[in-house]
Structure 1
Amino acid sequence: MTTSRTHPDFAELVRVSARIGCLSFGGPAGQIALMHRELVEERGWVSEEQYLHALNFCHLLPGPEAQQLAIWIGWKLHGIRGGLAAGLLFVIPGAAVILALSMLYGAAAHLVWFAALFLGIKAAVLAIVVQAVLRLAGRALGTRFRKAAAVVSFIALFMFNAPFPLVVIGAGLVGWFVARQRPALLGLKAEPATPPDTARPWRHSLWSALIGGAVWAAPMVAVLALLGRGHVLWRIGLFFSKLAVVTFGGAYAVLAYMAQQAVSTQHWLSAGEMADGLGLAETTPGPLIMVTQFVGYLAAFRAPAPFTPLVAGLLGAALTTWVTFAPCFLWVFALAPWIERLERAGLLKGALALVTSAIVGVIANLSAWFALQVLFHDLRPTSLGPVSLNLPQLASFDWRAGLIAAVSAFAIIGRKWNVIPVLALAAAGGWLLSQLSA
């Protein structure tokens, strides 16, 4: 039942934001539904129309849309301090949990029993990623043209190793052009541009961008001055700063690019460890992109000089979290006053529509990558002209991972089980099957 009170005091906003941050399991869909129930239905702090407009606005921005929605609601109710409180409290509980799990993982990763548990978790993560592909495809591929964009995106990534940012930017440019010439191909209606009569808030946006950019860059300036460009903390901060700008389409969309770079280029962790990190992030509250903290912790933990491994890991995790989430506040504070204008920007909608379609192919590529890494122990690089593939050796198939993945897919996709009990049962199954096959 909606209350009659529509503007809480700051202390109440903090209490409710902390509650949401601790209960925000289930990925962006669950988090957005939780905020709708708490803030629209039960408390009436924002209207249904405002909430939907803000959600559409957040989908236009890089980064985790659920956290940006929380920032916008806080900003709407109490300005900058409200946005800071709501956004930080959305992240802090999950960040604390994933940091503790990362520390445990760094200390116990080579133990036999620990590896057995994560055999099951990796297999369940494969089912979770496949579910993400199916969900997004159902929403994003409404026309043949958009389906073709998803297929082209998948082929470009899986067979030709095209850079992820290039795929996203290319899809956006094509979507912009098609929205101008043939909007029906994207399922959009041709509408006349009707911008509002209010003044453009350039000054507010400029100051927000300058201050937000300085805050975003501050720890990187310190790392550069104290440790130099060759230190792992500089490489971590630079990599995840770039990632924060191209994370359209949610965490799953960017995971393939992050995994490719962190595993194959930077050599910070193995493909199996990347899957382990995603499994940990699935069990914690907050944005799924928090898995970046796990990567940052392990990268610094394994190249700690001049610090101890634990201190280096903590610094790596803190820096990764900062450069990943600080931009979210920048985007919202700088662009929130433009929300009504962005809602009416037809060409921008077209660009984002095709980006979303391409993201389906991106996540499908992630599914294929995870499947090969989890189900087979031996992959052989094979090149045929411009086509480059890692082909599995059938004799290296892991029947334990295959069985757990199949059961997890049935539970999550077929029976609609919550991911947390599935991950727990998969971990237990991995340990049991490892004992039986020992």
Structure 2
Amino acid sequence: MSGMTEAGAAPDSVTLKQASLYWLKLGCISFGGPAGQIAIMHHDLVEQKRWISESRFLHALNYCMMLPGPEAQQLATYIGWLMHRTVGGLVAGILFFLPSFFMLCGLAWVYMAYGSLPAVAAVFHGIKPAVVAIVLFAAYRMASKTLKNPLLWAIAILAFIAVFIFKLPFPWLVLAAGLTGLAGGQYAPAYFQTAGIHGVQQPGHGKALIDDSTPTPAHARFSWQRLRRVLFCGIALWLLVMLALIAAYGWHGAYTQMSWFFTKAALLTFGGAYAVLPYVYQGAVEQYHWLSPGQMIDALALGETTPGPLIMVVTFVAYVGGWHAEVLGSAHAAWSGLVAATLVTFFTFLPSLVFIFLGGPFIETTHGNLRLTAPLSAIAAAVVGVIFSLALFFAWHIYWPQGLAYAVDWFSVVLSLLALLAVLKYQVNVALVIVASGLAGALAPWIFT
């Protein structure tokens, strides 16, 4: 069978159909956030199937980690493109998030249609405290990898103050941190040196289909003509859909504003989905009022329990926003939500795909390490502070659901502490923690009455 190899022998060629089946499978099982998703791909594609060598895999990963957007999805797109041209990249990139899209739309419909039922509300009452713990854990995990010296700690603290106290917009923080890193990389480079984030370094798996010495295929060779063509197609596709929305609903229409806002969010997703969630929170909850703070927390919880990149939270956010906006009429709220979710997912992932097709040929011209780490190190440090601020935003609304003047919800506080203990000390899977917390919320009315 194609793809099965003897030890040390290069695998047979892989057809687009075989690759597509794998990308679909990956989209259905890719739990665990970017680190888990990259680990799955490394195990499957480097160690088991040997479709790509260790160094080529890491080289592609280095590029994807420099880009805004979900790096695991971009890595799948890159490998799919390298193996089967543009169609292979599109198939890999789209199948990576498509199962999650359908799951989240289904869950969003159930949530909006039946979320007010006491039993469903009780489940989410248990899930919300777990989200606080998970966001805190994400901040701790990122801090332990990025805050290696006092200067990076100072950047993180200043970012926290800027967001939590002064409510500064997230794009300005990214810009300020990037400029700080750019200057620091020149005048104090020792403070901005970083190690690999995902720790994928296990050489010696035998020859691969795309090996270290495999020549760059013709379609992956850099040319200015190809770059201009890809850039034109990406911008034209974005403009075509955006202009259609403006013509149909006007610039201030809900669909148009969602598409524009999440385009900006897609270009700010440095450091993973948690980094851009405060920006999404500022826009979707505080500025546009597409959903409530509680619904934003529920969106994150459901995003954590479904496969695919965590940035798929925006699909749920858009569905809820579209449902509330009733763009297609009050009798078709579900369809309004589905259209909003589809549009936002499109505008979220279009930049990721374009970045791969734009930069891939250039990256293939050099198999050395990319050295733009200083600005990214500063941005990553700022992101830590932003994520901590997000955790406090969530805790505020969960522990004091009626405001600080009212009593604390001690059930939520205790459940958060238990969830944090589970993920931090015992390394329990995040999805299991959310399920267990939801079960605790469902049982609480029976136990405490």
Q: Does TM, normalized by the shorter one, top 0.5?
A: yes
* C-alpha contact 1:145 1:185 (8 A) present in aligned 2: yes
Report the counterpart of residue 399 of structure 1 in structure 2: 410
Name the SS of the counterpart of 1:8 in structure 2.
Answer: coil
Which of 141, 144, 155 aligns to 1:149? It is 155
Task: Please give the residue correspondences for 1:33-432 in structure 2 after superposition, counting only pairs within 5 Å.
Answer: 33-187=39-193, 201-307=223-329, 308-339=332-363, 346=371, 348-379=372-403, 392-393=404-405, 395-432=406-443
Cα distance between partner residues in 1 of 2:163 and 2:362: 34
Q: What amino acid is the match of 2:376?
A: L
Q: What amino acid is the match of 2:333?
A: P
Task: Provide closer, same or farther for how the CA distance between residues 342 and 233 of structure 1 changes in structure 2, counting only shifts above 3 A.
Answer: farther
Report the counterpart of residue 384 of structure 1 in structure 2: none
Q: Residues 256-310 of structure 1: CA distance to partner in whole angstroms, max 9, x if unpaired?
A: 1111211111111111110001111111110111010111111111111344211
Q: Residues 99-122 of structure 1: CA distance to partner in whole angstroms, max 9, x if unpaired?
A: 100111110122221111001111
Name the SS of the counterpart of 1:396 in structure 2.
Answer: coil
Query: Does residue 23 of structure 2 align to residue 12 of structure 1?
Result: no
Task: Provide closer, same or farther for how the CA distance between residues 188 and 275 of structure 1 changes in structure 2, counting only shifts above 3 A.
Answer: closer
Q: What amino acid is the match of 1:107?
A: A
Report the counterpart of residue 202 of structure 2 in structure 1: none
Task: Provide closer, same or farther for how the CA distance between residues 367 and 292 of structure 1 changes in structure 2, counting only shifts above 3 A.
Answer: same
Task: Provide closer, same or farther for how the CA distance between residues 169 and 2 of structure 1 changes in structure 2, counting only shifts above 3 A.
Answer: farther
Report the counterpart of residue 203 of structure 2 in structure 1: none
Structure 1 gaps of 5+ residues are 190-197, 380-391
Structure 1 residue 238: deviation in Å? 1.0
The count of aligned residue pairs is 416
* C-alpha contact 2:328 2:335 (8 A) present in aligned 1: no
Task: Provide closer, same or farther for how the CA distance between residues 298 and 3 of structure 1 changes in structure 2, counting only shifts above 3 A.
Answer: farther
Cα distance between partner residues in 2 of 1:207 and 1:79: 15
Q: What amino acid is the match of 1:278?
A: L
Q: Residues 12-48 of structure 1: CA distance to partner in whole angstroms, max 9, x if unpaired?
A: 1111111111110111111111111111110111111
Task: Provide closer, same or farther for how the CA distance between residues 123 and 175 of structure 1 changes in structure 2, counting only shifts above 3 A.
Answer: same
Structure 1 residue 205: deviation in Å? 2.0
Structure 1 residue 199: deviation in Å? 9.1
What is the CA RMSD across the aligned residues, in angstroms?
A: 1.9
Cα distance between partner residues in 1 of 2:190 and 2:374: 10
Q: Residues 58-112 of structure 1: CA distance to partner in whole angstroms, max 9, x if unpaired?
A: 1111111110000001011111011011111101111110110011111012222
Q: Percent identity?
A: 39
Report the counterpart of residue 23 of structure 1 in structure 2: 29
Structure 1 residue 143: deviation in Å? 2.1
Cα distance between partner residues in 1 of 2:59 and 2:15: 23
Point out the more displaced range, 72-81 or 138-147: 138-147
* C-alpha contact 1:150 1:357 (8 A) present in aligned 2: yes
* C-alpha contact 1:133 1:363 (8 A) present in aligned 2: yes
Cα distance between partner residues in 2 of 1:342 and 1:263: 43
Structure 1 residue 396: deviation in Å? 2.3
Structure 1 residue 341: deviation in Å? 5.7
Name the SS of the counterpart of 2:325 in structure 1.
Answer: coil
* C-alpha contact 2:423 2:429 (8 A) present in aligned 1: yes
Q: Residues 134-160 of structure 1: CA distance to partner in whole angstroms, max 9, x if unpaired?
A: 111111112221121111111111111
Q: What amino acid is the match of 2:337?
A: G
Name the SS of the counterpart of 2:22 in structure 1.
Answer: helix
Q: What amino acid is the match of 1:110?
A: S
